Amino acid sequence: MRKIPHWIDGAEIAGSGDRRLPVYDPATGERQAEIVAATDAEVRAAVRSAAAAQPGWRAASLSRRAEVMFRFRDLVDANRKEIATLLSGEHGKTVADAAGEVARGLENVEFAAGAPHLLKGGYSEQAATGVDVYSIRQPLGVVAGITPFNFPAMVPMWMFCTALAAGNTFVLKPSEKDPSVSLLLADLLRRAGLPDGAFNVVQGDRSAVEALIADPEVAALSFVGSTPVARSIYTAGTAAGKRVQALGGAKNHMVVLPDADVGAAADAAVSAGFGSAGERCMAVSVVVAVGAVADPLVEAISERMARIRVGPASDPDAEMGPLITGEHRDRVRAYLDRPGGQVVVDGRALPAADGPGFFLGPSLVDHVTTDSGYYLDEIFGPVLSVVRVDTYAEAVALVNSNEYGNGTAIFTRDGGAARRFQYDVVCGMVGINVPIPVPVAYYSFGGWKSSLFGDLHMYGPEGLAFYTRTKVVTSRWPDPASSEVDLGFPKVR
């Protein structure tokens, strides 16, 4: 059985622990590899390696850091097919979907390559007589990232590119379900010229996370995953004196007004609801149909769902692959037996749903009630719910009262209604006729309410702020002849 190693101090390191974690092929259900879960000592070795490398990497010029990011960008681009194929084999998403993930990750590498500009501070000459004041951004030190299974290439790049460009060193704990891409990225960083120890990977599960939280040399933690785990990591990490950004779950609503183009809205709902088998934190999981648009919209969505080709990534015509594990597939499938909605399209009828892989066809549930599990839970699978309301005001109230505030969208031809929606809605990311409003790399990603714990979003300007701290310097070069003791409060006028 293939064993997936750690990456410590610039090289692959075989695990020495006695706990084994399976890595499956979601298309066949077969165990294809295993992780030897990191021991506390191995996590400590990774952090120690990062701590030893940090002073030298911090001292590297901004141009040098940018050069490494540029080289890494070229290497990722040159190897994107290999990355996508490796990713697809462990996650189950189609190779085309995986390639799209890599492309979005590359945007963050390109943003981080602008470090010489992004890390500029401010300067005020003559703030007081003969006194200048200026601010500088400095790295935190050793930082760690804990990333989810659904984007094993993109989400780590959201974190480590900005962190490294700012002069930090990094320890990554990828998902144990699809860990191999992290090692390929580590090797590409090495080839790009990143010093040994500046980037490390520890494979494991909760115990590795707890070891990172407990380690006093880890200054900050970034996390993406479910809300209960995000809340737990934020609580434990901040209690340990660390800076923490923990992105949690979502229940993303797509509001469709009566004036919307029904065909375009149905295309968007199907694309955003069932891409990557619905295993996206930005997936549309609730369509809010306003007024008379509901019946034609449900019909249009149903027609499009019938044409979705579900299959393994090895099938070049497949548009949607399996779910990540059999346990998760069974959990998602169980929702379709619950009350609280009318199942219009049943994904359990897909022949492959009874096969050896972790497949489940796309499902559509209409007339969903807001007290049901369909609406309240983050199902994280190919189940799209339709909630019917009579007015725009009801739709906005529904979005705003939901526990989560990650992403939302509105489909309409009315510019005034769209502008009002972006003003009214209580949510971190908003799409106007855009179903998955993931910001471009020079903005920042993150939600509100129970979708984010911490005060800074991920990547972009806020990501840079998270991985740095500001130092303000007040400077005076007086004439020694005029120096004197003055016990009064410093004057600026």
CB 110, CB 29: distance < 8 Å: no
Q: Are 46 and 15 in contact (CB under 8 A)?
A: no
CA distance 481 to 223: 56
Q: Rg of the chain over CA atoms, in angstroms?
A: 25
Residue holding tokens 């610039």?
10
Q: Which of 387, 346, 355, 352 minimizes the C-alpha distance to 370? A: 387
Give the integer Cα–Cα distance in Å for 151 and 260.
Answer: 31
Strand stretches in 369-413, DSSP E? 383-389, 404-405, 407-411
Strands of the sheet containing 218-224, edge to edge, are 11-13, 6-8, 199-201, 169-173, 142-146, 218-224, 243-247, 452-453
Beta bridge partners of 13: 6
Copy the structure tokens of residue 367. Answer: 């007339």
Q: Distance of CA 480 to CAs 129, 474, 483, 493, Å? A: 15, 18, 5, 21
Just list the catalytic residues.
Answer: 281
CB of 453 within 8 A of CB of 406? no
Q: Is 48 exposed, middle or buried (0-12, 13-18, 19+ CB in 10 A)?
A: middle
Cα 91 from Cα 110, distance rounded (Å):
25
Query: Beta strand pairing status for 429-432 and 2-4?
Result: unpaired
